[in-house]
Amino acid sequence: MSTTDDSFSVTHDPINIQKTSLKEKWWHIMDTWKVGIIPLPLFLLAGALIAIDCLGGKLPSDIVVMVATLAFFGFACGEFGKRLPVVGKFGAAAICATFIPSALVYYGLLPDVVVKSTTTFYKSTNILYLYICCIIVGSIMSMNRATLIQGFLRIFFPMLCGEIVGMLVGMGVGIALGLEPFQIFFFIILPIMAGGVGEGAIPLSIGYAALLHMDQGVALGRVLPMVMLGSLTAIVISGCLNQLGKRYPHLTGEGQLMPDRGNGAESATLNAPASGKADVTTIASGALLAVLLYMLGMLGYKLIGLPAPVGMLFIAVFIKLAHGVSPRLLEGSQVVYKFFQTSVTYPILFAVGVAITPWNELVAAFTVSNLLVIVSTVSALVATGFFVGKKIGMHPIDVAIVSCCQSGQGGTGDVAILTAGNRMSLMPFAQIATRIGGAINVSLALLFLGNFLV
C-alpha cells in the first residue's frame, strides 16, 4: 500500500493518534466532569475570573458578570448538598444553596463585593419573578387540560383540611410544652402559614403593630424566624417525600396531582421529552409569552389587588383551557420551563440566601419548644394533605408536596421546596397554596384579632 495514501498516514501516524487522543480526553472532561450543569474547566475559569474581580475590589452587578457569579456559587453549594451522605437525598441541595450563603454572609466568609453585587442585582432586577413566571407558564402549558382543571378544583380541599389539622396539632403541642396559646397561634403557627415574607410576615407585623401597640420591627423580628424555620422544615419533608415516591412509585404522579386519563396530544406532560421541533424563535416566543402574562398579572394587581403571580396563573390556565396558543408554542414554553428548572434554580437560591435570608434571626429561633411546635405543625399539615389527597383520588405524594408549600417562605420557599421534592411542575399549585392560602390566613387572623381579642 502506498505510503502517500491519506487514510494510511492519518491512521498510523503516532503524532496524529496522540493529538486525537488528547482532544477526545479534553472533550470527555468537558462533557462528563461537571459541577451542577457547569463543565469543570468552565467552573474553574469562572472562579478564577470572579477572584480576580474580587481582588480588584469591585465585582460589577450587571447581568453578564452576575450570571457567572450566581452560577458559580449556586451550583457549588447545590453540588455540596447533593454529595452529603444520607441527607443529600433528602433535599440538602436546596437547603445548602439557600442557607450556606446566608451563614457565609453572617460570619463574614463571603467577600463583601460579592455580597454587595449579589444583593444589588437581586433587588434591582426582581429576577425571582422572571423565574417564577417562566416556571408557572411552562408547567401549565404542558399539562393535560382535564388533569389541570381537576387538579385546581380538588387541591383546595386537602389544603383546607391540612391547615385545620396543622393548627390544632401545633396548638396542642405548644400547650403541652407550657407555652401561652395566644403566643403559639399568632407568633408561631400563623407566621408558618402566612405565605412568606412579603405577603405574610410583613403584613402580619404591620397588623400586630397597630392592634397590639408594639413596634413593627419587634413584631417582624418575632415572626420572620418562624417563617424561615417553617420553610426549612417543609424543604426537608419535601425531600423525604421525593425519596418515598422513588420507593413506592404507585403513590406519586411525578409532578402530576391527578392520574392522567388523557390521550393523544393532550396526554403530553412535562415528564415527556420535547419533540425537537421547537426552534429558537419558538423558544423565544415561549419566554415572551410568560413575560407578557406576568405583565397582565401586574395590571390585575393594580386594578383589583390580586398578586401578580396568581393573576398570571389564572390567565395562563384560561389560555390553556381555551386552546389559546398553538402546540408549537406550547412546546416552546416547555423548553423555557426546562431551561429555568435545570439552569437557574440554584443560582436563584444562592441570591436569595445572600440578599434576604438573615442567618442570625434563623439561629435565634432555634429553641426546642419552637422547633417542636413548628415541626409538629408542618408535619401534621403535610400528612393530612397526603391522606386526604389519596382518599379523593389524587396522587398523595404530589398533594403532600403542595401542602409543604403552605408553610413555605413565599416564592423563594416554593422554589426550594419543589426543588427538594423534584416536582417543579407543581409550581402553579404551590403558588395557590402560598399566596392565596397565606393571604386568606393573614386576613382572617387579623380580622379576628381586631374584633374579638383586642
pLDDT in tens, 35-48: 989 999 999 999 99
Cα–Cα distance measured from residue 285 to residue 304, given in angstroms and rounded to the nearest whole number: 28
Band of residue 198 on the pLDDT scale cut at 50, 70, 90: low
Cβ atoms of 347 and 70 closer than 8 Å: yes
pLDDT in tens, 312-352: 888 988 898 888 888 889 889 989 988 998 899 899 989 98
Q: Answer with the residue of higher pLDDT: 363 or 52.
A: 52
Distance linking the first and last C-alpha atoms of the chain: 102
pLDDT the model gives residue 267: 43
pLDDT the model gives residue 266: 42
pLDDT the model gives residue 212: 85
**Stretch 288-317: mean pLDDT:** 88
Q: Answer with the residue of higher pLDDT: 172 or 451.
A: 172
pLDDT in tens, 280-296: 899 999 999 999 999 99
Which region among 58-72, 148-162, 233-247 has the lowest average model confidence (pLDDT)?
148-162
pLDDT the model gives residue 115: 94
Which region among 20-29, 64-73, 82-91, 255-264 has the lowest average model confidence (pLDDT)?
255-264
pLDDT in tens, 343-379: 998 999 899 889 887 888 778 778 899 999 999 999 9
Residue 260 has pLDDT above 50, yes or no: yes
pLDDT the model gives residue 9: 42
Residue 19 has pLDDT above 60, yes or no: no
pLDDT the model gives residue 373: 94
**Stretch 388-411: mean pLDDT:** 90
pLDDT the model gives residue 435: 78
Q: Select from 177, 104, 260 the least CA-distant residue to 188.
A: 177
Q: At what angle are helices 280-304 and 127-141 packed, to 10 degrees?
A: 110
Residue 261 has pLDDT above 90, yes or no: no
pLDDT-above-70 percentage for the chain = 90
Q: Answer with the residue of higher pLDDT: 397 or 445.
A: 397
Band of residue 445 on the pLDDT scale cut at 50, 70, 90: confident
C-alpha cell at 181: 396559646
Band of residue 20 on the pLDDT scale cut at 50, 70, 90: low
pLDDT in tens, 140-151: 887 777 777 878
Residue 404 has pLDDT above 90, yes or no: yes
pLDDT in tens, 212-242: 888 776 777 788 888 888 988 999 999 999 9
C-alpha cell at 360: 442570625
- How far CA 331 is from CA of 138, 264, 312, 327, 336, in Å, comes to 9, 15, 19, 6, 9
Q: Is residue 269 classed as helix, strand or coil in its secondary structure?
A: coil
For the chain, the C-alpha Rg in angstroms (whole number) is: 24
Q: Can you say how many angstroms the Cα of residue 156 is from the centroid of all Cα atoms in its chain?
A: 20
Band of residue 105 on the pLDDT scale cut at 50, 70, 90: very high
pLDDT the model gives residue 387: 95
Residue 403 has pLDDT above 80, yes or no: yes
Q: Find the Cα–Cα–Cα–Cα dihedral 366, 369, 373, 379, rounded to 10°.
A: 70
**H-run or E-run covering 38:** strand 38-39
pLDDT-above-90 percentage for the chain = 41
Q: Is residue 34 classed as helix, strand or coil in its secondary structure?
A: strand
Residue 98 has pLDDT above 90, yes or no: no
- Mean confidence (pLDDT) of the chain: 84
Cα–Cα distance measured from residue 318 to residue 325, given in angstroms and rounded to the nearest whole number: 11
Cβ atoms of 346 and 77 closer than 8 Å: yes
C-alpha cell at 394: 389524587
Cα–Cα distance measured from residue 440 to residue 425, given in angstroms and rounded to the nearest whole number: 24
pTM as predicted: 0.78
Q: At what angle are helices 112-125 and 345-356 packed, to 10 degrees?
A: 110
pLDDT the model gives residue 378: 95
Cα–Cα distance measured from residue 66 to residue 58, given in angstroms and rounded to the nearest whole number: 12
**Stretch 163-172: mean pLDDT:** 94
Q: What length is written for the chain?
A: 454
